[in-house]
Structure 1
């Protein structure tokens, strides 16, 4: 497979075309950002860790019957994925209160949520990814009613799979976001799953082992990602 032109560069990844019109290459960068790009740093080896972490999680989800775009690792920093028509909303599940839900609702961090909460957000950095609902999504044509239902179904199923996976490794899956796209008439999970897009706490100490270490200036960001990978058995 030959790498083609660069199609897009985001905060954490670069997307390239290939000689197969239905396949893309994702290149995972060392760049790390927070607060809509206001805080940016380059952290050595982060791209390599996230590439392999994402491959591991996507394969686990696929094995559990959750279809996604991942096909194979290409190199230390690159993966081959199906080319999706992305749906411009994020699906967020929260098992424990942290981050924006605590700020919005004035609730303390660390409350267990039963059942987990589900939220949609519009992917739009300029608008700071505002929360939207199913009515907005259908009215503005971002997704059909059937696609919305499918995204919710797959997100809840992913939560059950991943909560157990992380719990078995001594970790709490606090919350996470997923993105979806269309491929050959199906809705598939796309983008990535890494500690950049979820919150993970040590089950005993509640130490943060995710991107909040960067947001809050705690240091040891890549080391925390590596620790989570080690516990899961990800080959780095």
Structure 2
């Protein structure tokens, strides 16, 4: 495998220089973290599954006109993406009360919300990704009013599509996190969907049993974490061709 320069390593992914200008290679790790990295572990095969699930979803979203950074999957653990200027926000779309929303507002987990709610969090691990309002975002220059209009429209469109996609395979989309970036093409800039969409970034419950099929199984020590991720991939019809065999990580050049 060719040696290439590592540009960034996050909690779940590594970014490498891409084969051509304006591209990156995104490598999916098996590492798992929760509670702003206070809890750490490994979910065997998670990187392989998240790579495939995110590829599937990003491809389907592109088919309905949602712009994304995804170009193509390269192998079991890597995908080619466009280089974007990441907007320092986590955009959380909620359909059912769960997680921090239940804790903050005292709403029992599992309560359907009157309508989908979109929340913004400032991407800063040291601060614990605090929740912020549009006033903070525009005042501090993280995104413009027009950027936020685009982000809101795209987030709700993604929510509509994913809700139907998962409903079709017996899964309730409780909530999920999105990230966005600015893609520059010549002098034109547009907001595109970035990062990943996978059981790492979504709460997914079985419609009939409410069984959790996402990273909450790791957060809450529920067990059978690998099986839950595999079940999501199985229902979407995208289990890896070679099964769950692992791959060595790419060599890095310092």
Q: Same fold (TM over 0.5)?
A: yes
In structure 1, stretches of 5+ residues that fail to align are: none
Match of residue 4 from structure 2: 4
Q: 1:115-137 deviations in whole A, cap 9, x for unaligned?
A: 11110000011111000111111
In structure 2, stretches of 5+ residues that fail to align are: 241-254
Are the aligned partners of 2:49 and 2:239 in contact in 1 as well (CA < 8 Å)?
no
Match of residue 202 from structure 2: 198
Q: How many Å separate the matches in 2 of 1:63 and 1:116?
A: 23
Match of residue 144 from structure 2: 144
Q: Name which of structure 1's ranges 88-97 and 37-46 shifts more when overlaid on structure 2.
A: 37-46
Q: Name which of structure 1's ranges 114-123 and 205-214 shifts more when overlaid on structure 2.
A: 114-123
1:14 is aligned to 2:8: no
Match of residue 124 from structure 1: 124
User: Quick one: higher RCO (CA 8 Å, sep 6+), 1 or 2?
Assistant: 2
Q: How many Å separate the matches in 2 of 1:114 and 1:169?
A: 24
Q: 1:56-98 deviations in whole A, cap 9, x for unaligned?
A: 0101111111110001011110000000000000111100000
1:186 to 190, 194, 219: 190
Which runs of structure 1 show a deviation greater than 3 angstroms over 4 or more consecutive aligned residues? none
Q: How many Å separate the matches in 1 of 2:203 and 2:19?
A: 36
SS at match of 1:66: coil
Q: How many residues align?
A: 236
Deviation at 1:21, TM superposition (A): 2.2
Q: How many Å separate the matches in 2 of 1:148 and 1:97?
A: 24
Q: What TM-score comes out, normalization by structure 2 length?
A: 0.91
1:114 is aligned to 2:114: yes
Q: What TM-score comes out, normalization by structure 1 length?
A: 0.98
Are the aligned partners of 1:26 and 1:80 in contact in 2 as well (CA < 8 Å)?
yes
Match of residue 157 from structure 2: 157
SS at match of 2:11: coil
Q: 1:164-207 deviations in whole A, cap 9, x for unaligned?
A: 00000000000001000001211000000000011000000000
SS at match of 1:229: helix
Deviation at 1:20, TM superposition (A): 1.6
Q: Name which of structure 1's ranges 117-126 and 17-26 shifts more when overlaid on structure 2.
A: 17-26
1:216 is aligned to 2:223: no
Deviation at 1:3, TM superposition (A): 6.3
Are the aligned partners of 1:3 and 1:16 in contact in 2 as well (CA < 8 Å)?
no
Q: 1:183-232 deviations in whole A, cap 9, x for unaligned?
A: 12110000000000110000000000000000000111121011011111
Q: CA RMSD in A?
A: 1.2
